[in-house]
Amino acid sequence: MSVDVQVRPEVPAAPPSSYNRGRRVTARTVRYGLLFLFLLFVFIPVYVLLVTSFKPGAEAGVSGAWALPQNWTLDAWRSAWQTLSPSLWRSFAIAIPAAVVSAILGSMNGFVFSRWRFPGSEIIFTLFLFGMFIPYQAVMIPLRQLTGDLGLPGGVPTLIVVHIVYGIPICTLIFRGYYSTTIPAELVEASRVDGGGLLRTYASVVLPLSAPGFVVTLIWQFTSVWNDFLFAIFLSNTRNGPVTIALNALAGGQLTDYAASMAGALIASFPTLVVYIVLGRWFIGGLMAGSLKT
Amino acid sequence: MRKIKSWGPGLLLVAPSIVIIGIFVYVLIAATANESLTDRHSAAPAENYVGLENYVNLLDDDRFIHSLRNLAIMTVVFVAGTLFFGVLWAFLLEKGVKGEGFFRSTFLFPMAVSFVASGVVWRWLLNSAQGENAGGLNALFGMVGLDFLQNPWWSHPDWGMAAMAIPAIWQLSGYVMALFLAGFRGIPHELREAGRVDGASEAQLYRHVIFPQLSPVALTALIIIGHMSMKMFDLIMAVSGAQFLTEVPAVYMWQSLLTNDYAKAAAIAIVLLVVVAVLVVPYLVQNARAERQR
């Protein structure tokens, strides 16, 4: 590569080098200046959340709102925890099984749609994808009826099933993209020639290579189920629903206790933030896969 | 027969998902559409089919037109804002800066938080009071002498929905940045080299070589952000609650359901579905076609 560059004709006369360096320094200063400015923009809400959550109720009002607390206290955290903790556990009880089951289904579907296609599989796959983009309002009214008819108890069990179902498209998409780039078609072919059936090929060739795909899918699914509000408000209530519902109730009243609701927002975001900070690289992998361009 | 034997098992493995998606997406959409053609305006079962009456009524309903207008304003600002910041951040980062990973993760972290949780703090930040009683961002403007920037945010009767897009921009610009960063990095190095050898300045290089290569990324971002905006529900409920001023079709649908006007709610949901489908279906079809050619 470097040889190649050397034999190329000279780039048209460059301006004097000191001028060039000066410009480069300016460009770099502007670049970092802007980046830090935007960093500030992103952090403003975080500052407000943290600072307000440590204020006593009386201080959390409007005046002096941007100042640090005069009396630091954990009262708001305590009261938010008391209000939210039951729903927090329900959120785990919903998000973990929902993420695991849709990931497993997604893995099987993704394998078939990428490496064991059948006539019409492309069309079916596209029909799956459409299910990911629909506004769920378009299914919500009969869905309430259907989950009732299926005898699902309201709250956690209903939400697990619903999130599994509507998680299938995205999980299938992620695994399909993952398998079509990481599992060589020849490998599957070889297993088939050896007389390996579908399940054996899946279990012995595909699954052992699937760990990164599962990490990405599980993170993605866990985060979106955890953050869901729409299904929750239609299919549960503050007594049997997830933390988003409880938080909305805590923060949404006419006389909002800002200190408690901000502590609550931090508590409710804590699990997904930890996942993001610890496994950020895979989180971004899911983002990319979710954009169809895999 | 031999052929079926080869692809049959694949179909069998995805069959459960096909049935599930078939029922939970397509049958339920049909059920909603069916409900929208009835006169079920109370909790009691429908009595008659009334054809398109509910849709005709919606077109005549100032409240619905108002909600569509709100949706349009928010979507334009949301899409333009995320594209602006997303492209800018990716542009600032793409040549490699010190601490790139840190900047990237910071710009992206709001995505890990739910709209409900971020809505708690944005509700506080977008406080409409000005002058003496100013709170939130207005108070900050007052403190730094930028009083002229104070405004009623989402409480503005005409353009309030533009302010409602601000939290959404905060939350999703990082996502667009990640898309574009991947796009920038996907451009072959030779292409830039060739442009430079041909004597293109940096600005020309971006304008004529790099940005045209990124138009598929821009389309992806447009579709994803656009369809998210059209479905927007959580954020509005968290920031302003359900109220006329900031009502969009998704919220209006929810409100109609609260009054047991099932037929109207179903009609709104179907309109929403059609609007989203107009945006998404051509994209999915084009994607499937490109896939087949590969």
User: Cα(A98)–Cα(A154) distance, rounded to whole angstroms?
Assistant: 16
To probe the interface with A, which of B5, B21, B125 has the most A CB atoms within 10 Å?
A: B21
Closest CA to A220 of A115, A86, A102: A102
Terminal alpha carbon distance of chain B: 28
CA dihedral A234→A240→A241→A242, nearest 10 degrees, is -170
Query: What DSSP designation does B154 have?
Result: G
Q: Using CA coordinates, name the residue in chain B closest to A260.
A: B120
pLDDT at B221 exceeding the cut of 80: yes
Region B84-108: mean pLDDT is 89
pLDDT above 70 (res A290) = no
* Set of chain B residues whose Cβ sits within 8 Å of the Cβ of A124: 14, 18
Q: Looking up tokens 């995205």, which residue turns up?
A: A170
Instruction: Judge contact between A121 and B10, C-beta under 8 A.
Output: yes
Give the pLDDT of residue A4: 35
Residues in B closer than 8 angstroms to A103, CB to CB, are none
Contact B9 A197 (CB under 8 A): yes
Tell me whether residues A127 and B21 touch, CB distance under 8 A: yes
Query: Which stretch of DSSP H or E encloses residue A275?
Result: helix A258-278
Helices (H) and strands (E) in chain B, counts: 15, 0
| Residues with Cβ within 8 Å of residue B21, at least 6 apart in sequence | A127, A128, A131, A165, A168, A169
Looking at chain B from residue 20 to 59, which residues have their Cβ under 8 Å from any Cβ of chain A? Answer: 20-21, 23-26, 28-29, 31-32, 35
- Joined together, the tokens standing for residue A81 give 């925890």
CB contact (8 A) between residue A141 and residue B112: no
From B7, B231, B269, residue closest to A119, measured CB to CB: B7
Whether A227 shows a pLDDT value over 60: the answer reads yes
B87 touches chain A (CB under 8 A): no
Q: Say how far apart CA A140 and CA B152 lie, in whole Å.
A: 34
pLDDT level of residue A107 (50, 70, 90 thresholds): very high
Question: What are the extents of the domains in chain A?
Answer: 75-289
What kind of architecture, by CATH, is found in domain B61-293? Answer: Orthogonal Bundle (1.10)
Task: Dump pLDDT digits (tens) for A4-19.
Answer: 333 344 444 445 556 6
More confident residue, B1 or B191: B191
Asked if B237 and B251 touch (Cβ cutoff 8 Å), the reply is: yes
Cβ neighbors of A93 (< 8 A, separation 6 or more) are A156, A160
* pLDDT at residue B101 greater than cutoff 90: no
CA distances from B76 to A102, A106, A109, B168 (A): 34, 34, 36, 12
Size of interface A-B (CB pairs under 8 A): 276
pLDDT tens column, A112-123: 999 888 899 999
What does the mean pLDDT of chain B come to?
89
Strand, helix or coil for residue B51: coil
Least confident of A24-28, A160-164, B165-169: A24-28
pLDDT reading at A294 higher than 80: no
Which pLDDT band, with edges at 50, 70 and 90, does B255 fall under? very high
Residue among B14, B42, B67, B38 at smallest CA distance from B230: B67
Asked if residue B138 lies in contact with residue B150, where contact means CB atoms within 8 angstroms, the answer is: yes
Q: How confident is the model at residue A3 (pLDDT cuts 50, 70, 90)?
A: very low
Provide the β-strand partners of residue B38.
B49
Rounded to an integer, what distance in angstroms lies between the CA atom of residue B183 and that of residue B206? Answer: 13
A13 burial class (0-12, 13-18, 19+ CB within 10 angstroms)? exposed
Amino acid A194: pLDDT = 84
Do the Cβ atoms of B121 and A45 come within 8 Å?
A: yes
Q: Which residue of A has its CA nearest to B294?
A: A180
In sequence order, the β-bridge partners of residue B49 are B38
Q: Which range, of A153-162, B108-117, B157-166, B182-191, averages the lowest pLDDT?
A: B182-191
Q: Do B7 and A117 touch (CB under 8 A)?
A: yes
Q: Is there a contact between B179 and B265 (Cβ–Cβ < 8 Å)?
A: no
Position with higher pLDDT, A62 vs B121: B121
State the nearest Cα–Cα gap between B79 and chain A, in angstroms: 16
Residue B50 has pLDDT above 70, yes or no: yes
Mutation target vs A (from B54, B113, B259; most A CBs, 10 A cutoff)? B113
A54 or A3, higher pLDDT: A54
Which of A34-38, A67-71, A284-288 is the most confident on average?
A34-38
Listed in order, strand segments (DSSP E) in chain B are: none
Percent of chain A residues topping a pLDDT of 70? 87
Q: Report, at the CATH architecture level, how domain A75-289 is classified.
A: Orthogonal Bundle (1.10)
ipTM for the assembly: 0.91
Q: What is the mean pLDDT of residues A22-47?
A: 89
Return d(Cα A136, Cα B74) in angstroms, integer. 19
How far apart are the CA of B159 and the nearest CA of chain A, in angstroms?
Answer: 22
Judge whether B21 and A127 are in contact, CB under 8 Å. Answer: yes
Q: Give A287's contacts (C-beta < 8 A, 6+ positions apart).
A: A220, B108, B111, B175, B178, B179
Spatial CA neighbour of A289 closest among A207, A206, A170, A208: A170
**Within a 10 A sphere around the Cβ of B293, how many other Cβ atoms?**
5
Predicted local distance difference test score (pLDDT) of residue B19 = 97
Alpha-carbon dihedral sign for residues A229, A235, A236, A237: positive
CB contact at 8 A, B180 and B221: yes
Mean pLDDT of all residues belonging to chain A: 86
Beta-carbon separation of B120 and A261 below 8 A: yes
pLDDT at residue B1, rounded to an integer: 52
Q: Are B234 and A100 in contact (CB under 8 A)?
A: no
Share of chain B above pLDDT 90, in %: 57
CA distance A133 to B281: 9
Residue in A282, A287, A263 with CA at minimum distance from that of residue A173:
A287
CB-closest option in B24, B105, B124 to A280: B105
Residue with tokens 């939400």: A159
Query: Which amino acid is present at A242?
Result: P
Q: Averaging pLDDT over each range in A63-67, B135-139, B179-183, which range is the top one?
A: B179-183
In tens, the pLDDT along A253-283 reads 766 788 899 999 999 999 999 988 888 777 7
A49–B287 CB contact, under 8 Å: no
Query: What percent of chain A lies above the pLDDT cut of 90?
Result: 56
* Identity at B12, one-letter amino acid code: L
Residue A2's pLDDT band (cuts 50, 70, 90): very low
B168 and chain A: CB distance < 8 Å anywhere?
A: no
Determine, for residues B269 and A273 on separate chains, whether the beta-carbon distance falls below 8 Å: no
The C-alpha atoms of residue B82 and residue B175 are separated, in whole angstroms, by: 8
Residue B49 phi, psi (nearest 5): -85, 135
The answer to whether B244 and B160 are in contact (CB under 8 A) is no
How confident is residue B169, by pLDDT bands cut at 50, 70 and 90? very high
Between B31, B133, B273, which is nearest A62 by CB?
Answer: B133
> A267, A261, A262, A259: which is closest to A71 by C-alpha?
A259
